[in-house]
Amino acid sequence: MTEPGDDRRTRRVPLRDVGTDPDYRFSLANERTFLAWIRTSLALLAGGIAVVQLAPDLGPRPLRLAVGVALIVISGVIAGAAHHRWAGAERAMRLGTTLPPNRLAVLLGYGLAIIALVVLIVMLVSGGAR
Amino acid sequence: MSEQPVTGQSGDPILDAGGQAERTRLSWNRTGLALAVNAALLVHVGGGSLAEHVPAMLMLLVALGCFLFAGRRYHTINAAVRSDRAVAGIAHVRTLALLSVVPAVIALVAVLG
């Protein structure tokens, strides 16, 4: 069995071979949290597509494209990072160590704040582009 | 360490105590619905040719897989809890994460194209 605290070595060991099986309720809660992040990522993806293709009155196309691409990129990063977070939490539970810090919420919070600010400026400057 | 199965007044183990498996199944179903909404959106913005609907079809396939998997996962969890096995589904979580990143890449290409 791998000793807790040997972080670098345990990351290379397959998840099932690390530590002991945790309470199944914790594993399932971790799985549902992962799925909630995936749905957040899918909502951002839908928002990105809609901004570019379905909201021509929002502002000039290059700016809409920039906002849409930013949303889609954040969506992809969140989907990938969600798996990383799930694996990290599962590993910590198997080893009985502290859960790793959640950087996804920081990324989502600041990313959306910047995008909201850009959209606000675009709307104020273009006046709806009508 | 796995928990002991929760038993009722008769002493028999309760199936899906606390609705853990059911809540996880519903979570998978909601994710499938979110994927289906994205697929509908991609169909709406897609052009007339079949090639332009490939991202939407891919997204729809992932949504379908999610729905099918939800039911299977429910039974797998109940069976694992009954026989005191681990419930973590490493392979499917990895697959879904990958399949969620791929549509984002395809949507990016579709939007920029």
Q: What is the ipTM of this complex?
A: 0.82
Which of A13-22, A48-57, A89-98, B21-30 has the weakest average pLDDT? A13-22
pLDDT in tens, A30-60: 999 999 999 999 999 999 999 888 888 888 8
Hey, which residues does B7 pair with through a beta bridge? B13
Hey, which residues does B13 pair with through a beta bridge? B7
Nearest by Cα to A84 from A96, A102, A67? A102
pLDDT in tens, B69-108: 899 989 988 888 888 888 877 777 777 777 668 778 877 8
From the list B2, B38, B97, the residue facing A24 with the nearest CB is B2
Contact check, Cβ <8 Å, B31/A38? yes
Residue B13's φ and ψ, nearest 5 degrees, are -65, 140
Contact check, Cβ <8 Å, A31/B89? yes
The CA radius of gyration of chain A, in Å to the nearest whole number, is 20
Which residues of chain A are within 8 Å of residue B104 when distances are taken between CB atoms?
41, 45, 72-73, 75-76, 79
At position B68, the amino acid (one-letter code) is L
A79-106 in b/e form (b: 16+ CB < 10 A) is bbbbbebbbbbbbbbbbeeeeeeeebee
Q: How close is the nearest chain B Cα to the Cα of A72, in Å? A: 6
Give me the pLDDT at residue B28, please.
Answer: 92
Q: Residue B18, Cβ neighbours under 10 Å: how many?
A: 11
Give me the pLDDT at residue A40, please.
Answer: 94
Confidence of residue A95 (pLDDT cuts 50, 70, 90): very high
Contact check, Cβ <8 Å, B86/A21? yes
**What is chain A's mean pLDDT, rounded?**
84
Task: Identify which has the larger pLDDT, A30 or A6.
Answer: A30
Q: Are B90 and A16 in contact (CB under 8 A)?
A: yes
From the list A34, A69, A86, the residue facing B111 with the nearest CB is A69
Nearest by Cα to B35 from A35, A53, A64? A35
